[in-house]
Copies of this chain bind each other. A is one copy, B any other.
Amino acid sequence: MLTKAPHLFDDATRVTAGDSRWQGQTSQDYWAFVGPFGGVTAATMLRALIDHPQRSGDPLALTVNFCALIAEGDFDLDVRLVKANRSTQHWTVELTQGGSDVMTLATAVFAERRPSWSHQQAPFPQARPFEQIQPYAKVAAPWIRQYDFRFVEGHADFSGAKYTPASAYSKLWIGDRVPRKIDMLSLMSMSDAFFGRVFHARGELVPFGTVSLTTYFHADVEELAAEDISRVLAVADAKIFHKSYGDQNGELWSPSGRLLATTTQIAYFKA
């Protein structure tokens, strides 16, 4: 079912190792309206950490602050291990282009996750099977073409015809358009693959940009690999839109009913 490498996503998030400075490049395949799709930028920064020889443990938390628009082309990733403890590591990654100011700033926590009491309090969202739902076909930007979105609730109707404010809630299946086994990188990217909540609430597209994104991982690398999945069931919602900024919170679930990641972001909008 899954393609052999190289997958477009792996091309888009490829990094070249350095000591503390790594290199990457933007991808036209994952281009958004005015810059690269933030999820792929976040995944690329995460890849530099996962591939780093000093890295130990699995991704636990990643926060990405989008400081300025990344231009098409090459970029540098300055990677720093800020603090290492017995079972956790704290990292920063700064993305620059040709000696520019920092365009994207990430902090990450990696952890050796030890067995413990386990309890999943959040209920698994019920959903019709992926196969029974038509894929979302409207492609407003290239990156959207790389994903297979199947809306269960809170469909993406941005025609402007709806009464506003509508609910900002969505439930959908998300997979790579060309199926790819889900790993920490694609999970990171998918945590930013929800459409702007303000689009749903207003029923129309408006100028929009994520400012800060935080994702927590609730399975380790081995557990995620054992799920052996190529899509997640995802829910996203918002609590408030006010004075040009709105929030988003989301969950990414394995079809087996396991909560893989939770995510939140704050985004700029103009409306």
Contacts and interface: CB of A to CB of B under 8 A. Distances in A.
Interface of A: 60-61, 63, 65, 67-68, 82-83, 85, 88, 90, 92, 94, 101-103, 105, 107, 109, 111, 113-122, 165, 167-168, 201-202, 211-212, 214, 216, 218-220, 237-245, 247, 249, 251, 259, 262, 264, 266, 268-271
A112 to B, nearest CB: 9
Residue among A107, A211, A242 with the highest chain B CB neighbour number at 10 A: A242
A96 B114 CA distance: 28
A257 to B, nearest CB: 12
Given A60-B266, A262-B247, A202 B117 contact: yes
A191 to B, nearest CB: 13
A216 B266 contact: yes
Looking at chain A's contact residues, the main secondary structure is: strand
Contact of A201 (B107, B119, B219, B269): B119
Copies of this chain in its oligomeric complex: 2
A255 to B, nearest CB: 17
B63 A107 contact: yes
A206 to B, nearest CB: 9
9 smallest beta-carbon distances between A and B, as pairs: A122-B239, A113-B243, A67-B83, A117-B271, A61-B212, A116-B244, A67-B90, A63-B63, A119-B165
A122 B240 contact: yes
A212 B213 CA distance: 13
B90 A105 contact: yes
B120 A242 contact: yes
A238 B116 contact: no
A76 to B, nearest CB: 15
A212 B82 CA distance: 14
Contact of A212 (B94, B101, B109): B109
A211 B109 contact: yes
Contacts of A113: 242-245
Given A61-B211, A65-B109, A218-B247, A121 B240 contact: yes
B201 A121 contact: yes
A271 B118 CA distance: 9
Contact of A266 (B61, B65, B119, B202): B61
Contacts of A109: 65, 211-212, 266
Given A61-B212, A249-B249, A239 B167 contact: no
A116 B109 CA distance: 35
Contacts of A211: 60-61, 88, 109, 111
